Structure 1
Amino acid sequence: MKFALATPALNTYPAAMAPWEPKAGGAEILRYARKADALSWDWLTLPEHLVMPAEMKEVMGSRWAESITAAATLMGATQRIHMLTYILPLPYRHPLLLAKQIATMEFLAGGRFTLGTAVGHLEKEFEALGIPFHKRGAMTDEYLAAMKEAWTSDTPAFEGEFVRFKDIVIEPKPVQKPHPPIFIGGNSQPAMRRAAEHGDGWIPWLVTSEDLPGCIAYMKSLPAYEAKADRFEILVTTTAYKVDDYSHAERGQTQIASDRDGVLREIEALQKAGATSVQVMPPRHDTLEQTLEWIEWYDDEIIPRFR
């Protein structure tokens, strides 16, 4: 079992935000990242929205990081821990630009990056960026193929509906071979198919331990899954969000277990259901100091039981 740790203060999502986060800045986030790096956490997860539609500000918060910049900054501030974008909407960037950004980070930091990506879901965010919302699925599939071509070929060439290139050279290549791991997000069957066909893992966010076995059974039924079954990561958040999937309207209080028995129960349930990794959100402590103490406690008391 692997453990991904949510990075606080990069967004201000009301359902799970701690009281200290809105006033936190770079110094606090860097301190948090370095603390996790000194422990045994596998990933730091990094959220992303490029713009927030005004009508979503109340339910989603106004602060959301740009995850590639965040990843590069935190990779430069740490030595061991990997970064995982959770989740970067793939249609928002030209695939050659994104492939280059990721390869450059990898080259400088010795790997340590996993692309968590999905099609995106905020239609007005797409509109603001001038990207066709209703073509986002086809764009995502094509961009994934184009990025892999850029990362793995000495003479990359691609001819698609949305992107075309040839007679180019792209270096540096990524450190991780054949390319950085790609985890696909989304709770729908199309997202699961995309993960099985194009990804190295799946990262849903509103799927529970009760839902998970059926989802895994569906992915196992897909021909593309069999070849990667022994290395395919299924990373599920331990946070029990009480929100609607697309509106983000709260349907109750989101639950974040903080005590030893509660934490162990939730991880054991997810592991039994088929999860290979979990994403952990620290509880809503009042201060950064309390949060740092909690992630160290978790590292001492919880993680060793699942290694």
Structure 2
Amino acid sequence: MKLGFALPHMMRLKAASQPWEAAVTGADQTKMVKWAEQFGYEMVAIPEHHIIPRQHVDLSGPHYFAAYPAMAYVAGATEKIRVNSCISILPAQNPIVTAKALSTIDWFSSGRVTVTFGVGWLKEEFDLLGVDFHKRGAMSEEYIQAIIALWTSENPEFEGKYVSFRDVAFEPKCVQRPHIPVWFGGDAEAVLQRTARYACGWWPFLTRPEQIPEKLDYIRSRPDYNGKLADVYYGLGTGRVGEGHVVQDDPNARPGMGREELIDGLNWLAGLGVTWSSVPIPQLRHLEEYYDYTQWVAEEIMPVVRQGNT
């Protein structure tokens, strides 16, 4: 089991954020990703929304980054830690631009990029971006094919309804071969099918932990399964957030668990097929307490779950 680092003030989600996070600055976050790397955390993942309609602010909060610029910044501030998105909205922008942004980050970071794509869920956001919400699945299907073609072919070409190109050059290619690790985030059957075809990782959100094994079996049983699924990310605190960012009361996801509870919970997830996780943060008062807690996790929890035993 590998642990990702929950960087404060990535968002202000009612179900998961704490009041002190709103005062955390970019300079603070830069210092913290270096801290996380020093203590052995292996990934920082950036949530993404481009714009939040006012009626969703109460639950979702107003504060999100664009994933790719934020990933590039974090990669540039560090030397070893991986950068990821959770998720980046695949149909929200041209796939050529997406492919170039990600291969550029992978180039400069010497191959430390993973990307978790999602199709998006917030219709009003799509309306504001001028993207057809009801076609986002079909667009995502074409976009991921086009992106992989750009990353892997010396003479990339693609002909689709939403994107087409031929007789083009595309560099830099990804440092990682055959390309940047692609994960998909989400729980719908179409997401699982897309994961089977194109991905090596899956990031569930609304799936209950005990349902993960059956969904992994479904992915691997697909006739077009690519045989590459190796990673599943499920944070111990995921159950606190419901559909539409509604606050959920999940005793298995409560913050402030003790050492043995955290170890048992992470080992339980590992037994269900989860390979990456993070721990829910207890109620804190300020950033310095967050440093103390994440150091405690790194020293007391991380070595045990890496070994896979207690």
When normalised by structure 1's length, the TM-score is 0.94
Amino acid at match of 1:221: S
Q: 1:235 aligns to what?
A: 233
User: 1:34 offset after TM fit, Å?
Assistant: 0.8
Q: 2:301 aligns to what?
A: 302
- How far, CA to CA, are the matches of 1:280 and 1:175 in structure 2? 31
User: 1:220 offset after TM fit, Å?
Assistant: 2.4
The structure-2 alpha-carbon separation of the partners of 1:269 and 1:143, relative to structure 1 and needing over 3 Å to count, comes to same
8 Å Cα contact 1:19-1:284 kept in structure 2: no
Number of residues of Structure 1 aligned to a counterpart in Structure 2: 304
8 Å Cα contact 2:15-2:248 kept in structure 1: no
User: 1:255 offset after TM fit, Å?
Assistant: 2.0
Deviation track 1:198-219 (CA, whole Å, cap 9, x = no partner) reads: 1111001122322212212222
- How far, CA to CA, are the matches of 2:256 and 2:199 in structure 1? 30
Q: 2:254 aligns to what?
A: 255
Q: 2:27 aligns to what?
A: 27
Once superposed, what is the RMSD of the aligned Cα atoms?
A: 1.6
Deviation track 1:153-185 (CA, whole Å, cap 9, x = no partner) reads: 111111011001111111111111111001101
8 Å Cα contact 1:114-1:181 kept in structure 2: yes
User: 1:150 offset after TM fit, Å?
Assistant: 0.6
Q: 1:244 aligns to what?
A: 242
- How far, CA to CA, are the matches of 2:19 and 2:261 in structure 1? 22
Q: 2:285 aligns to what?
A: 286
Match runs of 1:26-105 below 5 Å: 26-105=26-105
Amino acid at match of 1:36: A
8 Å Cα contact 1:114-1:180 kept in structure 2: yes
- How far, CA to CA, are the matches of 2:125 and 2:117 in structure 1? 16
Query: Which consecutive segments of 4 or more residues in structure 1 shift more than 4 A?
Result: none
Amino acid at match of 2:246: A
Q: Tell whether 2:163 aligns with 1:163.
A: yes
User: 1:257 offset after TM fit, Å?
Assistant: 4.3
- Greater Cα shift, 280-289 or 50-59: 280-289
Deviation track 1:234-292 (CA, whole Å, cap 9, x = no partner) reads: 111210433431x3222447622442122112101111111122144433321111111
8 Å Cα contact 1:89-1:118 kept in structure 2: yes
When normalised by structure 2's length, the TM-score is 0.93
User: 1:28 offset after TM fit, Å?
Assistant: 1.1
User: 1:296 offset after TM fit, Å?
Assistant: 1.5
The structure-2 alpha-carbon separation of the partners of 1:60 and 1:43, relative to structure 1 and needing over 3 Å to count, comes to same
8 Å Cα contact 2:256-2:280 kept in structure 1: no
Q: 1:264 aligns to what?
A: 263
- How far, CA to CA, are the matches of 1:217 and 1:191 in structure 2? 14
- How far, CA to CA, are the matches of 1:182 and 1:175 in structure 2? 14
Any gaps of 5 or more consecutive residues in structure 2? none
Amino acid at match of 2:273: G
Amino acid at match of 2:17: M
Q: 1:148 aligns to what?
A: 148
- How far, CA to CA, are the matches of 1:5 and 1:280 in structure 2? 9
Percent sequence identity is 32
8 Å Cα contact 2:16-2:241 kept in structure 1: no
Q: 1:138 aligns to what?
A: 138
- How far, CA to CA, are the matches of 2:2 and 2:238 in structure 1? 19
Amino acid at match of 2:94: H
Any gaps of 5 or more consecutive residues in structure 1? none
8 Å Cα contact 1:111-1:175 kept in structure 2: yes
8 Å Cα contact 1:201-1:233 kept in structure 2: yes
- How far, CA to CA, are the matches of 1:281 and 1:70 in structure 2? 23
- How far, CA to CA, are the matches of 1:135 and 1:217 in structure 2? 28
Q: 2:219 aligns to what?
A: 219
